[in-house]
Amino acid sequence: MDYQVSARKYRPGTFDDVVGQPHVVQTLMNAVDTRRIAHAYLFSGTRGVGKTTIARILAKALNCEQGPTGHPCNTCLNCVEITQGTSVDVMEIDGASNTSVDDVREIRENVKFSPFRGHYRVYIIDEVHMLSNSAFNALLKTLEEPPAHVVFIFATTEIHKIPATILSRCQHYNFRRIARQEIIDRLRHVAKEDGLNIEERSFTALARASEGSMRDGLSLLDQAVAFGGKTIAHADLEVLLGAVPQELVQGLIAAVLAQDSPAALTVVAHLLDQGHDLKAFCADVVEYLRNLLVASVVPAATDLRGLIEASDEDLHQLAEKANKLTPEQLQELLSMFSQAEDSLRFTAHPRFVLEAAAVRATRVLRQQEPRAQAPPPAATAPAGTKPLATQPSGKPAPPAPSTRPSVTAAPSTVRPARPAIQERTPPPAAPRLTASPASPKPVIERPEPKPGPVQKPTETPANRSPSVLNWELVQEEVAASFPNFAPFLETGRYVGLEGNHVTIGFGKQSALARAMLEKEDNLRALATLCEKQVGYPIKVRVVELSESDPPGPTMAQLRAAKEQGQRVVLFEQARANPIVKQALDIFGADLADVRTVAQKEADE
């Protein structure tokens, strides 16, 4: 016997064999069994989900020698002829090649003839949306009042192209995409019948690539057999499908969990070296992060199979990784890579977009850690802390940092790390601490003209001024709470605070960032953060800077300059340490990195 592709060899022959369309099958079976048979049916849905297959099964159910019946025997002469496509009572017409009025006129003249052997004459018109408007109009009268022995079955993948006059004369059945697990089960059955040796994860890869189409899944399986024979290795299958290896996706996720930016960039480099599509990779990362988010919010006792289409081993790994992150962190990562996926569709430099997203993802967790532990206020220093020294002028000296430099020496390279955010300057009227000889505890000295606890005065419209708004602190809160528009905010310039209006300016080259910030939700969020600091309602105003405006650095440039200055100070402090000097002289090395770590309390 000649070779048949799996899509034809394992094509369902009865309603009971149909996979993935229970709502259509149940309705048609009941209609045939109760003799409530419509004169026209319209099947719509994506490719390869069973529209033509069910149309042929319906034709068999109507013309079976034991019927009409919802369970055709599939062995009588009528059923066999319909299966083979040789029945004179069932006409299959290709709508793409029979689009004219003359073709429809021929159908109109043939419908008056009674069926030759069966009970009904069935006209199956595939891709019916390809008919011309004139052909549709010529079919209207016949479609509305056909002879009793005629049934029309239309199939289309583009339901929006069907005229409303046709839709109103048909029973419309919408075919859904077939679930991934149902495709996996069907592929497993076909592989067992054909004696194929395939890994379990390969079925998942085939089902994912089929995108809900059973025919595509079976065609890909035939292609894999032609490539690798009866035994199909998963690596060969990924090469054949052009899919991104899951090892690369998990490698990027592992780099994010470890906060390892170089490792994340290495994954992107491997991705490009192997010729994979960056958009497909980013889509896989988004899907994986979505699965992690689901696994993190669903209780352990709940079965994840209904929410995540994966094997038991993959579900176990997802649950382990999900425990390392909070749902909020996963949501932020998901939003970050979703935005990168959108940007990849329009950018001319996809590699740069993906690398930027990967680096930022590896640093988002690191940036959140310092904010979890806020330093105590200067006025309420706990017992046991070191007192603050005073200068001869009477002014409090800069407080001794609660952190000490941790030095890492390297022979040649210098890689300064991003320093921690330093404490803000305390309010002007804050009390100062001095050491008392009689007591080990610090003594609080308060200014004579202003006795009592010093608190920041509540700002009102009468006493507000531009200096009360600490814009640097606003930027940090935006980066922590609203990462979706924080990068766009940094491309602008903080113009100032006048009255109750905060003005932010953007150059002409930053039109996209300005449009993003002008969204109502983003303006409202930014105004809320400003109100928390100044104590009265604030309105945010976004303007375009003109050429006459004085030039100035953007917020991102100011932040980078400040961080560079902090790094320089840390390196100078470390080099001034006698122990560090001696170590550098002995080993002939130079400082590679300087970080600040929290100093342990004296009683610990």
For every residue of 573-592, DSSP letters joined together read HHHHSHHHHHHHHHHT-EEE
Q: Which residues contact 562 (CB under 8 A, 6 or more apart)?
A: none
| pLDDT for the residue numbered 548 | 62
Which segments within 216-322 are labelled E, that is strand? 231-232
What is the model's pLDDT at position 67? Answer: 77
Reduce the DSSP state of residue 472 to 3 states and report it.
helix
3's tokens: 């070779």
The confidence score (pLDDT) of residue 52 equals: 92
pTM of the model: 0.55
Domain topology for 180-241: Helicase, Ruva Protein; domain 3 (1.10.8)
What interhelical angle do 51-63 and 22-33 show, nearest 10?
20
Helices 350-371 and 327-344: crossing angle in degrees, nearest 10, is 160
Q: Are strands 90-94 and 121-126 parallel, antiparallel or unpaired?
A: parallel
Q: Sort 19 into a burial class: Cβ within 10 Å, 0-12 / 13-18 / 19+.
A: middle
Helix (H, G, I), strand (E, B) or coil at 432: strand
Residue 428 has, within 13 A of its CA and on its CB side, a CA count of: 5
Task: Please state, in angstroms and as integers, the Cα–Cα distance from residue 244 to each residue in 81, 205, 226, following that order.
Answer: 45, 10, 21
Instruction: Cite the residue boundaries of each domain of the chain with CATH code 3.40.50.300.
Output: 6-174
Element (H, E) at 565: helix 555-576
CA neighbor of 52 nearest in space, from 8, 87, 117: 8
**CB-based burial label for 431 (10 Å; 0-12, 13-18, 19+):** middle
Q: How far is CA 315 from CA 2, 408, 604, in A?
A: 42, 40, 43
Amino acid at 199: E
Nearest to 150 by CA among 110, 122, 124, 126: 122
The pLDDT value recorded for residue 172 is: 94
- pLDDT means per 10 residues, the chain with 604 residues, are 83 90 92 91 92 93 88 89 88 84 85 86 91 88 87 92 91 91 91 88 86 90 88 82 82 89 90 86 90 84 69 79 86 90 88 91 69 42 42 45 45 42 43 40 44 46 54 81 78 82 81 79 84 83 74 69 76 80 76 62 47
Report the candidate in 14, 130, 4 with the shortest Cα–Cα distance to residue 71.
14
Side chain identity, residue 159? I
Element (H, E) at 44: strand 40-44
Q: Residue 432 has what pLDDT?
A: 43
- Between CA 533 and CA 502 the distance in angstroms is 13
Residue 184: which residues within 8 A CB-CB, separation 6 or more? Answer: 203, 204, 206, 207
Note the helical H segments in 312-414: 312-322, 327-344, 350-371
Cβ-contact 424, 473 below 8 angstroms: yes
Q: Name the CA dihedral angle for 84, 90, 96, 102, rounded to a multiple of 10 degrees.
A: 140
Pairing of strands 439-445, 432-436: antiparallel
Superfamily for the 6-174 domain: P-loop containing nucleotide triphosphate hydrolases (3.40.50.300)
For residue 381, what is the DSSP state?
Answer: P
Backbone φ, ψ for residue 251 (5° rounding): -65, -40
Domain 246-371 sits in CATH 2.60.120.260: no
Phi and psi of 112, rounded to 5°? Answer: -75, -15
pLDDT at position 547 is: 63
CB of 65 closer than 8 Å to CB of 73: yes
> With contact defined as beta carbons under 8 Å apart, do 253 and 344 qualify?
no
Lookup result for tokens 């005229």: 163
Instruction: Please state whether the peptide bond connecting residue 68 to the residue before it is cis, i.e. omega within 30 degrees of 0.
Output: yes
- Asked if 75 and 242 count as a contact pair (C-beta separation under 8 A), the reply is no
Longest distance between any two alpha carbons in the chain, whole Å:
118
Q: Residue 156: helix, strand or coil by DSSP? A: strand
Of 544, 422, 528, give the one whose Cα is nearest residue 472: 422
Residues 311 and 305: their CA atoms lie apart, in Å, by 8
DSSP of 167-224: HTTSEEEEPPPPPHHHHHHHHHHHHHHHT-EE-HHHHHHHHHHHTT-HHHHHHHHHHH
In the chain, where does the domain assigned CATH 1.10.8.60 lie? 180-241
* Closest by CA position to 364, among listed 405, 414, 325: 325
CATH 1.20.272.10 in the chain: give the residue spans.
246-371
34's tokens: 């109760």
Measured distance CA(290)–CA(295) in Å, rounded? 9
CA distances for 600 relative to 121, 179, 366, 597, angstroms: 89, 56, 21, 9
Cα(180)–Cα(164) distance, rounded to whole angstroms? 33
DSSP state of 306: T
d(CA 86, CA 79): 10
What's the DSSP call for residue 73? -
